[in-house]
Structure 1
Amino acid sequence: ITFRLEIPNEKYLKDQTPLLEKGLQLLAEIVFSPALEGDAFQSQYVAQEKRTLKQRIQAVYDDKMRYSNLRLIQEMCKNEPYALHVNGEIDDVDDITAEQLYETYQSAIQKDQLDLYVVGDVDSNQVHSAIDKYFKTEERTLGTIENNHADEKVQPKEVIDEEDVKQGKLNIGYRTSITYTDQDYPALQVFNGLFGGFSHSKLFINVREKASLAYYAASRIESFKGLLMVMSGIEVKNFEQAVSIIAEQFQAMKNGDFSEQDIAQTKAVIRNQVLETIDTAYGLSEFLYQQAAAQVEIPIEDFLANIENVTKEDIIKAGEKIQLDTTYFLKGTEGAS
């Protein structure tokens, strides 16, 4: 759960109101002193938020690109917490009560890890003193991160759903056995960039451009769960051919079928992406929070140096760990044009 507050820097205002302190005080009030009705959240707001949540969940089903990605994860991670969508299931929303919600909220405030980021041209002493004043929380013992590595050999499976869609959605999931804190994570990032992460990648050039098999074709990694996922939009009749050519590109990556120039280009794009992310206050907070969630501290210079130091051998070695898990296809029903 993220609370964000943006305020102008008081240094640049004629009125010398202590905006930073007032902002932190307001943020603390929002977090620790929410509006209540007795021992529960206010029922009118709970009803509003339940309506909004239902709309948010429904929006995923209406957007077939997002829906097919959700279905791939549900099939890949059956019986694992990761299979649960971030917004939950639409059928569970009505049963939420204002009392139960407040109990859950209190538990989160008292027990969950809390990270506070203040980004800007600020006086750190002033920030520390305001935080000590308004954010009084006890020390918390953090739980250990679940080990998501799959050691056993994965048995690949294929799942096909039929819906009234014009364009088929082919999503393929792989288990990488590599997560954010692993030594070979930078190599996995470069592998993904070469495979399907960017416009110079194998999937984009060979599946979308040369073979004209896909409206879009890309891949991404999930850094905490160790998944590599391919997303593509194809004509239903091209299913077998698309699966085959994506498998060929994946095998080419494992065989080291890429040049030093390809590697250098990929590293440059990753570097630019990271620098662009941390160039905004929100992006920098996200970058730092990813590390807090993983319980590691990697200075930005080290993070970029780790990418820069990846060799062709490292990429091939990371590729050896990656196993095909699930092929998911959302195809049009008969008669759909």
Structure 2
Amino acid sequence: MAITSDIVKKRPGYNLHIVKTEKYKTNTLVFKMKAPLTADTVTYRALLPYVLQSTTETHPTSTELRSYLADLYGASLDVDVAKKGEYQIISFAMDIANEKFLSNSAPILAKGFELLMEVVFHPKKDGEAFESATVLKEKRSLKQRIQSIYDDKMRYSTKRLVEEMCENEPYALETIGFEADLDKITPELLYSYYKKALSEDEIDFYVIGDINENEVEELADKYVSLKERNPERIKPVQKKVEKEREVVEKQDVKQGKLNIGYRTNVLYGDEDYYALQLFNGIFGGFSHSKLFINVREKASLAYYASSRIESHKGLLIVMSGIENKNYGQAVEIIREQMKEMKQGNFTEEDLAQTKAVVKNQILETADVARGLVEILYHNVISGMSIPLDEWLEKTEKTTKEEIVKVAQKIECDTIYFLTGTEVQS
């Protein structure tokens, strides 16, 4: 089955990705800026997109900007900051109506281009600084988001596991940044960093929908103005496990959070990446997996139990919520499931079911324009070019033996347990 792929056009300072499809009723524009994760810049990058999406030269207040979006037949504008491997990625995304479905053929795509590029390139500023009121407001919001992680114990425990497991590696950094660094960021410093990011980041611009390739190129050439750069490409830090670690943290919590981090020694694009995806599906990725059935259902030890892989860093993370007193037993059963996988104790039926779910998950993600961008963007992060068809085909062809083989590479690195203060560990 042919899956939509992107046509990549090299432009000064960035890559333009044109994805032609009649699948969606709207057109989607996604502008991505990628740079290595560093402690010095992580908080700047966490703050920057929120300042940029607040106001522009032409729309100097948030109210005016949002009102103009509403006038564009309810266009949406969102920003996001994410971590893929040891890169931090800023995304600006806009969904706009396709003018083919409008009674009057207003140039909506051109207006969308103009507005998104104004957000990125023409912010409201005060000399060589961002407007101080906007920066202050967004710093306050970011501080609240940073503080809220502590209250979300599921997210907090995953963050703490990664910090412990990847100590002294860039991946240990949380993309949301540091509260302590926020106070030091002035409107002048943030504006200076913004100019640096625009001149140095690896930039990819996706335009998706029922679009005309020539029109998209003309609009891009009109509204996107960037200088050539040689963006820094980094390889994720890959460490061998010398000794398994156990970290127990105590807080006033009723439900314990048991998270276990493994090194898979496999990255996106590696030949055995497809086997790793299926391994994760059988082990803990889905509701039919070993963790869900054996830890949660049969032993009734966990409120939730699942696993996920970080494709660009080579990690497998198990997350579970348990009664504090069940720690030892839960660790034992999770270890047992890993051992079962390494020994090939799963059926061809398990494998067939997992292949179907993995394939369905990929297709469902690609069914939404922004999801399709995330799938295509894997290739930018990895510096590879794997069409979606090939991904699905190689997943389908993966054998049980290949999954057992990839399982042998997986090593337990760190066990992290957040438990109540009343429990003796």
TM-score with structure 1 length normalisation?
0.97
- Cα displacement (A) at 1:147: 3.9
Residue aligning to 1:64: 153
Q: Secondary structure at the match of 1:114?
A: strand
- Cα displacement (A) at 1:313: 1.0
Q: Percent identity?
A: 56
- Cα displacement (A) at 1:21: 1.2
Task: Tell me if the contact between 1:149 and 1:178 (Cα under 8 Å) persists in the aligned partners.
Answer: no
Give the Cα separation in 1 of the matches to 2:182 and 2:150. 16
Residue of structure 1 aligned with 2:102, choices 2, 5, 13: 13
Task: Tell me if the contact between 2:241 and 2:412 (Cα under 8 Å) persists in the aligned partners.
Answer: no
Moved more, 291-300 or 106-115: 291-300
Q: Secondary structure at the match of 1:241?
A: helix
Give the paired residue count.
Answer: 335
Residue aligning to 1:209: 297
Q: Secondary structure at the match of 2:381?
A: helix
Gaps of 5+ in 1: none
Task: Tell me if the contact between 2:307 and 2:319 (Cα under 8 Å) persists in the aligned partners.
Answer: yes
Q: What CA RMSD, in Å, does the superposition of the two structures yield over aligned residues?
A: 1.3
TM-score with structure 2 length normalisation?
0.77
Q: Please give the per-residue CA displacement for 1:136-194, whole angstroms capped at 9, x wherever unaligned.
A: 223332333314332x3431000000000000000000001111121111111000000
Residue aligning to 2:57: none
Residue aligning to 1:319: 407
Which one has a larger percent helix, Structure 1 or Structure 2? 1
Residue aligning to 1:270: 358
- Cα displacement (A) at 1:288: 1.1
Task: Tell me if the contact between 1:170 and 1:329 (Cα under 8 Å) persists in the aligned partners.
Answer: yes
AA paired with 1:58?
Answer: Q
- Cα displacement (A) at 1:335: 7.8
1:4 aligns with 2:93: yes
- Cα displacement (A) at 1:93: 1.2
Give the Cα separation in 1 of the matches to 2:241 and 2:293. 31
AA paired with 1:224?
Answer: H
1:173 aligns with 2:261: yes
1:286 aligns with 2:370: no
Q: Please give the per-residue CA displacement for 1:64-107, whole angstroms capped at 9, x wherever unaligned.
A: 00000000000000011111101112222111111111111111
Residue aligning to 1:131: 220
C-alpha distance 51-326 of structure 1, shift in aligned 2 (>3 A):
same
Give the Cα separation in 2 of the matches to 1:78 and 1:50. 27
Residue aligning to 1:48: 137
Task: Tell me if the contact between 1:68 and 1:169 (Cα under 8 Å) persists in the aligned partners.
Answer: yes
Residue of structure 2 aligned with 1:220, choices 301, 308, 316: 308
Q: Secondary structure at the match of 2:209?
A: coil
Q: Please give the per-residue CA displacement for 1:271-329, whole angstroms capped at 9, x wherever unaligned.
A: 00000000011111111112212211111110111111111111111111110000000
Q: Secondary structure at the match of 2:247?
A: strand
Residue aligning to 2:27: none
Residue of structure 1 aligned with 2:422, choices 317, 334, 337: 334
Residue of structure 1 aligned with 2:327, choices 233, 239, 245: 239
Q: Secondary structure at the match of 1:118?
A: strand
Residue aligning to 1:261: 349
Give the Cα separation in 2 of the matches to 1:266 and 1:9. 37
Residue pairs, 1:108-147, within 5 angstroms: 108-147=197-236
1:78 aligns with 2:167: yes
1:33 aligns with 2:106: no
- Cα displacement (A) at 1:55: 1.0
Q: Please give the per-residue CA displacement for 1:172-229, whole angstroms capped at 9, x wherever unaligned.
A: 0000111112111111100000000000000000000000010000000011110000
Q: Please give the per-residue CA displacement for 1:236-277, whole angstroms capped at 9, x wherever unaligned.
A: 110000000100001000000001110010010000000000
Q: Secondary structure at the match of 2:94?
A: coil
Task: Tell me if the contact between 1:163 and 1:330 (Cα under 8 Å) persists in the aligned partners.
Answer: yes
Give the Cα separation in 1 of the matches to 2:145 and 2:356. 36
Task: Tell me if the contact between 2:236 and 2:312 (Cα under 8 Å) persists in the aligned partners.
Answer: no
Task: Tell me if the contact between 2:324 and 2:423 (Cα under 8 Å) persists in the aligned partners.
Answer: no
Give the Cα separation in 1 of the matches to 2:234 and 2:402. 25
Q: Secondary structure at the match of 1:160?
A: strand
Moved more, 71-80 or 11-20: 11-20
